[in-house]
Structure 1
Amino acid sequence: MNNTLEIKHLEKNFGKKKILTDISFTVTKGHIVGLVGANGAGKTTIMKAILGLVGFSNGTITINGESVSLNKHQALSKVGALIENPGIYPYLTGWDHLRLFAEKNITKSMMTELVSALKMDKYIHQKAKGYSLGMKQKLGIALAFLNNPDFVILDEPMNGLDPQATFDLRQLITTKANEGTTFLISSHILGELEKLAKDLVIIDRGQIIKQTTTYELLSTGEKYFVLQTSDDDRAQQLLLDHNFNLKEDISILVPNIDNNSLANALKVLINNNIDVLDVQHKDNDLEVSLLELLQHGEEGVK
């Protein structure tokens, strides 16, 4: 596979404190990769190191085969990024920002198309000092996309965005990825990341504990049957009496352990004159799957 980004054995210390330990992962060209972990796990430090904004103690970072370091930035010429809060000049308009940072090949029509995609038309010619948090965030995102980068790095891009703006950003990222742009995205809004990311790099306390796909992580999570009956309280007690390990007290969640799990549960209920009104499948979402992985600690280390 053609990798846009390769990180090998990256280490970062602040004084005697170790921030990153033996970080190694790849980002495949054209993929949307989610970098996930708890606050303080080291996600932003990794992104800053990729962008040559902070140095590192050991290891290598290459983008499209070219190395990146604190003093070597040539490989970043086709990289767009939004890290932490966007840098906004309050007395410039949003349009002024785009003009200021646009390369010579970026035309007015290309800028207008980007503004429309993020639904910034109504305020793009207003001074940024009057922008709300969400408006500033969208301007920062627009600047990251402005020069048609091959690789885009976004740190918490949904911060401050309302549901419509989040949807618009998701559409833009998906469109660009389908056109071949590579993405590395950090977000604590795991529901949105689940809709976007094909691959995941999971970090905990400065260490990579797993590089996987979203599908693989979700498929390893627990699965349940959710039952609705004519008498849920009695149905729960009957299943417990027959050694079914129900997941919660508030719902009848029968673990999908094997192909006979549902059939056996239904047989118990029907034999006891309880009508089954509805059966639904329930899978773990990304948040639950990630929490389960982190709770396993060393069992998740690869």
Structure 2
Amino acid sequence: MLTINNLTKSFGKKTVLKGIDFKISEGEIVGLVGANGAGKTTIMKSILGLASYQAGEITIDGKMVSTTSHQALEEVGALIEYPGIYPFLSGYDHLKLFSENNTKEELDEIVADLHMTDYINRKAKSYSLGMKQKLGIALALLNRPRLIILDEPMNGLDPQATRDVRELVLKLSKKGTSFLISSHILGELEKIVDHFIILNKGKIIQAMSVEELNAGHSHYVMLTTTDNEKAKEVLTAAKYELQVDRSVKIKMSENADLANIIQVLYDNKIQINDVRHQENDMEESLLNLLDQKDGGKA
């Protein structure tokens, strides 16, 4: 559905995109993640013909896209940054204004799916930030797009609205709609995406599935003992990998067996008062990956 080859862009002497390559298949949901300034929005604007680029090629369903060639965008819906809304039109007026071939039933289905029925006929000037965001998402869904690009779609949404959007994305992907979504809310992306494209300083440092990123999770054991400082000393001497923490936090691995850890502490007359297990989350896995690719610098 979308193919990007060697996309390169500079602002003056600063190169902000460095040979970007990736594809999105029909019905696939891809998450674009990275720090602020990594190039996420620039990539999305380039796909939509809103930003020029010095080298590379973008095609949507086999058709070229550039700032002067927009034919392929007829099958694309998008929400980039903030939705453009006319304050004195109602939400429903916006949908009718930008809809070229949707039936009333289709418009009503979008409104119902996003739970906008209670306010869709009110003037947009009275909308909260979350209401405006959902209207922007609704506009991106008009005219049955085959590819939808969403830049931080969860901004301003409460938990229920976030769930509404998540369920709608999954519903449409099952019907064959492809998605490219950027978000700093990694926990939400994890629930819907098939693959992650991880950016750092204008380069793709990793393209991986959710399962592959989750495989990088670490497991820790947190111990509270009668003498935590002494426990840290004896466990460090025994070659266990400890993390900086007020309690005794041990990174578990093939060589770290809890029974052996307990035995080491028992031999040194240290009693264990509490044992807890902890998994690092996707955010920590991503930050670790970015740190590794950046030469170990935070």
TM-score, normalized by length of structure 1?
0.89
Structure 2 equivalent of residue 138 of structure 1:
134
Match of 1:62 among 59, 62, 66: 59
Is residue 2:126 matched to residue 1:94?
no
Corresponding residue to 1:225 among 220, 223, 226? 220
Identity of aligned residues (%): 52
Distance in 2 (CA, whole Å) between partners of 1:11 and 1:172 is: 33
- Residue 11 of structure 1 is matched in structure 2 by 8
Given that 1:235 and 1:274 are in contact with CA atoms closer than 8 Å, whether structure 2 keeps it comes out as no
1:176 lines up with 2:175 in the alignment: no
2:289 maps to which residue? Answer: 293
1:4-83 mapped onto 2 (5 Å cutoff): 4-83=1-80
Distance of 1:206 and 1:225 partners within structure 2: 33
Structure 2 counterparts to residues 165-204 of structure 1, below 5 A: 165-204=161-200
How far, CA to CA, are the matches of 2:223 and 2:116 in structure 1?
46
- CA–CA distance in structure 2, aligned partners of residues 251 and 163 of structure 1: 33
Whole-angstrom CA distance in 2 between matches of 1:190 and 1:21: 24
**For 2:242, what is the secondary structure of its paired residue?**
coil
On the 8 A contact 1:115/1:124 being kept in 2, the answer is yes
Contact 2:227–2:270 (8 Å) recurs in 1: no
Query: What code does the residue aligned with 1:195 have?
Result: K
Matched residue, 2:248 = 252
Alpha-carbon offset, residue 269 of structure 1: 4.2
Post-superposition shift, 1:280?
Answer: 2.6
Kindly indicate whether the alpha-carbon contact (under 8 Å) linking 2:31 and 2:197 is maintained by their aligned counterparts in 1.
yes
Alpha-carbon spacing, 1:196–1:251, altered in 2? closer, same or farther (3 Å): farther
Q: Deviations over 1:80-119 (max 9, x none)?
A: 1100110101110000001111122x22222112112111
Partner SS state of residue 254, structure 2: coil
Q: What amino acid does structure 1 have at the position aligned with 2:77?
A: G
The answer to whether 1:214 aligns with 2:210 is: yes
Distance 1:175 1:243 in 2: 50
Matched residue, 2:156: 160
154-163 vs 173-182, which deviates more? 173-182
Query: Do the aligned residues in 1 keep the contact of 2:16 with 2:202 (CA within 8 Å)?
Result: yes
Deviation at 1:217, TM superposition (A): 2.0
SS at match of 2:262: helix
Q: Does 1:108 align with 2:104?
A: yes
User: Any stretches of 5+ residues in structure 1 without a counterpart?
Assistant: none
SS in 2 for 1:142: helix
Aligned-pair distance for 1:244? 2.2
Contact 2:225 2:270 in 1 (8 A): no
Does the 8 A contact of 2:223 with 2:276 survive in 1? yes
Structure 2 counterpart of 1:268 = 264
Deviation larger for 13-22 or 156-165: 13-22
1:164 alignment partner AA = Q
Cα deviation, residue 216, structure 1? 1.1
Using the alignment, how far apart are the partners of 2:145 and 2:227 within structure 1?
55
Contact 1:226–1:251 (8 Å) recurs in 2: no
In structure 2, do the counterparts of structure 1 residues 42 and 184 end up closer, same or farther at CA, with 3 Å as the change threshold? Answer: same
1:298 positional shift = 5.5
AA of the residue aligned to 1:225: Y
- CA separation in 1, counterparts of 2:227 and 2:181? 43
How far 1:235 moved relative to its partner?
5.1
> Structure 1 residues 240, 8: CA separation in 2 closer, same or farther (over 3 Å shift)?
same
**Shift in Å at residue 229 of structure 1?**
5.2
Measure, in 2, the Cα distance between the counterparts of 1:11 and 1:125.
44
Q: Which whole-Å CA distance do the structure 2 matches of 1:135 and 1:62 have between them?
A: 33
Q: How far off is 1:232 after superposition?
A: 7.3
Contact 1:202–1:210 under 8 Å retained in 2: yes
Residue 243 of structure 2 aligns with an amino acid whose one-letter code is K
SS where residue 296 of structure 1 aligns?
A: helix
